[in-house]
Structure 1
Amino acid sequence: MIRAALLSLCLMGLAPLAAAQTTDPAALAEAAAIRLDQAGQALARAEKARDRVKALSETLRAYEDGLEAMREGLRRVSLREAQLTAELQSREAEVAQLLGVLQSIAATPDPVLALHPDGPTGTARSGMLLADVTPALTDRASALREKLEEVAMLRALQENAVDTLSRGLDGVQQARSNLSQAISDRTNLPRRFTEDPVKTAILIASTETLAGFASGLSEIAEGEAPGSLPDMSHRKGKLPLPVQGTILRRAGEADAAGIKRPGLIMATRPRALVTTPTAATIRYLGPLLDYGNVVILEPQADLLFVLAGLDVVYGEAGQVLPSGSPIGLMGGQDAQIGTIVSQASEGGRTAASETLYIEVRENNAPVDPVAWFATGKDN
């Protein structure tokens, strides 16, 4: 009976499990947890930093990176666990037979196992067969044990991820609050001009298009410092995008309503930080037409970066900001932990529900933003 079972398993074999993804899900989740811990340490150090705004901006970006990596790691962990569980369940009969054979071998006394009804020749053949099959059975048992251990480890990672996500979400909210306060306390930024609020209100009231508003920006400035801004032509196509996200629609592509715009639209996470892609003067910030809150940056003469759709804006018109300075936050609310875990368990990603519109204007005419920003091949 034992011999027949051994021969059956030997001939049948257990097909190899599907290869793991290129990036190990467990390693990805663990690395994300480390990044969130490092962001927490950076948040504590930022309170004592000489340039708190810069330090807190970097900390907030670190939290965004860590949370994004944790979401992706949790998603891959869930997918890997589901894959292993499904394969083990589909082979339940094979696994049960393997375990039964191993238990039978272990329970049979050695002298009995060595005897065969056909005499010495049968005993020799049985021994040879057993010697050939036992290593294969051991290998399969070892592989099964490894898969079961991996499932247990992945489930433990998912449980720990809840605590890690909770700390990360608390940390990112604290970083945003501290950043807003640090920006309010900031007094050392140079100014190129002072905004005339009356002229600004008149310009907004009389404006019907973004182009018309952009062409009248010089009218709202008082006491503008003379001199030209530095040329940036050597940085064309190399500037970082002002927010973390993916390109949803490129310049000239129609939206669901058939409307085409000369700028690009980026999908972002709720409350994502928006920063200056380079040193620039704030020409305008505030609500404008149907764009929501708008920030217009002037990195060089006759060049404007228009960023529209922000929920919170930082700064004042006329201020000169260094590269990477925070200029606002996107709208929406951070996803709750339960939502993140639920979507990850289903193999989905948390929605990038907010959109930022980016338009570039040279000599008051729109140009494709891709000419200035490094958008990457995958966007």
Structure 2
Amino acid sequence: MLTALLFLMAQTAAEPPDPDRLEQVREEQAEAEKRAEQLREEAEAAASEIEDLESDLIALADEIAAAEKRANDLTGRLSRLSVEEAVLTDALKEDRATLMRVMAALQRAEMQRPPPLAVSPDDASDAARSAALLAAVAPQLEERAAELRNRIDSLAEIRAQIGEDQTALAEEEAELESRQTEIAGLVDERQDRRAELDETAQAEAQEAARLAEEAESLENLIAEFIKRQEEERRRAEAEAAAAAAAQAEAEAEAEAEAGRQVASRENSGPAVSFAAARGALRPPAQGQVIVGYGEDDRIGESSGLKIVTRAQAQVVSPFDAKVEFAGPFQGYGELLILSVGDGYHIVLSGLARLYTVSGQSVLAGEPVGQMPDRADPAPELYYEIRKDGAPIDPAPWMRPGSRSG
């Protein structure tokens, strides 16, 4: 800036600078300051909008988690009903075959005429025994037929329940798909709003800095021109150096203050410490834990939990956190590392899509990604908690009733 000022002074030593240009620059600077103030107001409003979006995301994430749990329950119920239907069908087939054999035998006995009295006593005795057998078997056949009718009615009820559950499951899955589309839209809207705010703020800051520098240069030129040329040169250099130093100091102080504010926001941490949240963390996804901490995971002892989820299941942050890493990692799919304070980190892997980027802050329950869109094999989410770099069992940290996923 000092070199540019001396160059302009040398060029205009024979004639004074244009005061109209200074006035114009001052007007432009005032307008830039006005726009900057408007931008600050917009930034506050945008921050409030982003907070509302994040609250909506968390509420919607809770609704999706409940819907996924209902869908999982319906899937399990359908599986159990199908097994019960198969068992009852086999029993009915066996009962029907037995009953048909008994009925055929009775029909054959009934078709045999009683022997005449003139025949031998043995034939008369056989006829009497057949009649007695028929009389004894008839009540049992009637009871067996009644039992068979009851089983047929039970099978019809089970099949009707299966039909109702299949309809309910289809409705839940349709609702899930709609909610997942809605949450993806909210995530995109939040990201676009942040990007727009950052871009506008940077442009206005650059424009304000340019106008301030131009106004300061012109003011110095006009103030120094009315003095003797030699004295003007020396004073201009000293004043320009002082102004540059003051501006640099002010800019450095402003940058340091901004850095302190950012660091304060980033390092302030959640109101409740992570260590105090043991036993109260929400699950990162709805599903079933198929591998526990310390269990065999085909490649060795597991350092975390493996949760099998539905296709495209949402994944949320279990706690307020800062995203330390977000991206693909060595065949693990999309990987997230969340810093939650107190030396603790949460690791989530196996995702197909991420809603966050490194350096971003997320709230407890905020959606951070989505699982792959496949049913066979079902998606598997790996969930790990580390304290000072060493893995610990996540199960005792989860809410009661959610430790099965």
1:293 alignment partner, one of 307, 314, 334:
334
8 Å Cα contact 2:305-2:384 kept in structure 1 = yes
CA distance in 1, matches of 2:324, 2:54: 27
User: Is 1:277 paired with 2:296?
Assistant: no
Alignment of 1:304-319 (within 5 A): 304-319=345-360
Tell me, yes or no, if the aligned pair for 1:279 and 1:321 is still in contact at 8 Å: yes
Is this contact kept in 1: 2:395–2:403, CA < 8 A?
Answer: no
- CA distance 1:75–1:366, change in 2 (3 Å): closer
Query: 1:59-102 CA distances to partner (integer Å, 9 max, x unpaired)?
Result: 32232122212211221221111111111111224434788999
Partner-residue secondary structure (3-state), 1:267: strand
Q: Tell me, in whole angstroms, the C-alpha distance in 1 between the residues paired with 2:278 and 2:384.
A: 15
- Counterparts of 1:221-236 in structure 2, within 5 Å, are 223-225=262-264, 226-227=267-268, 229=270, 230-236=272-278
2:75 pairs with 1:75? no
Distance in 2 (alpha carbons) for counterparts of 1:90 and 1:167? 37
Q: Would the alpha carbon gap of residues 167 and 101 (structure 1) be closer, same or farther in structure 2, given more than 3 Å must change? A: farther
Of 292, 305, 322, 1:250 maps to 292
> Which one of the candidate residues 274, 282, 285 is aligned to 1:240?
282
% of aligned pairs identical? 27
| Letter of the structure 2 residue corresponding to residue 270 of structure 1 | A
Mapped to 2, the partners of 1:150 and 1:79 lie a distance apart of 14
Tell me, what secondary structure is at the counterpart of 2:311? coil
Aligned in 2, Cα 1:96/1:295: closer, same or farther, shift over 3 Å?
same
Taking structure 1 as reference, are residues 366 and 163 closer, same or farther at Cα in structure 2, changes over 3 Å only? Answer: closer
Cα 1:133/1:51, change in 2 over 3 Å:
farther
Match of 1:60 in 2: 64
Amino acid of the structure 2 residue aligned with 1:248? I
Pick the structure with greater CA Rg.
2
Q: Does 1:91 align with 2:98?
A: no
Instruction: Tell me by how many angstroms 1:161 deviates.
Output: 4.5
SS in 2 for 1:277: coil
Q: Give ranges in structure 1 of 5+ residues lacking alignment.
A: 1-48, 104-121, 195-220, 336-350
Q: Which residue of 2 aligns with 1:362?
A: 387
Taking the TM superposition and a 5 Å limit, the aligned residue runs for 1:163-202 are 163-186=167-190
Using a 3 Å threshold, how does the CA distance of structure 1 residues 59 and 377 change in structure 2: closer, same or farther? closer
Matched AA of 1:239: L
Name the TM-score, length of structure 1 as normaliser: 0.57
From the two aligned structures, give the one with the greater helix fraction. 2
RMSD: 4.1
Q: 1:100 to 1:70 in 2, by over 3 A?
A: farther
Cα distance in 2, alignment partners of residues 317 and 366 from structure 1: 22
State TM-score, norm by structure 2. 0.54
What secondary structure does 1:278 align onto? coil
Question: What 5-or-longer segments of structure 2 have no aligned partner?
Answer: 1-52, 108-127, 199-259
Separation of aligned partners in 1, 2:356 and 2:378: 25
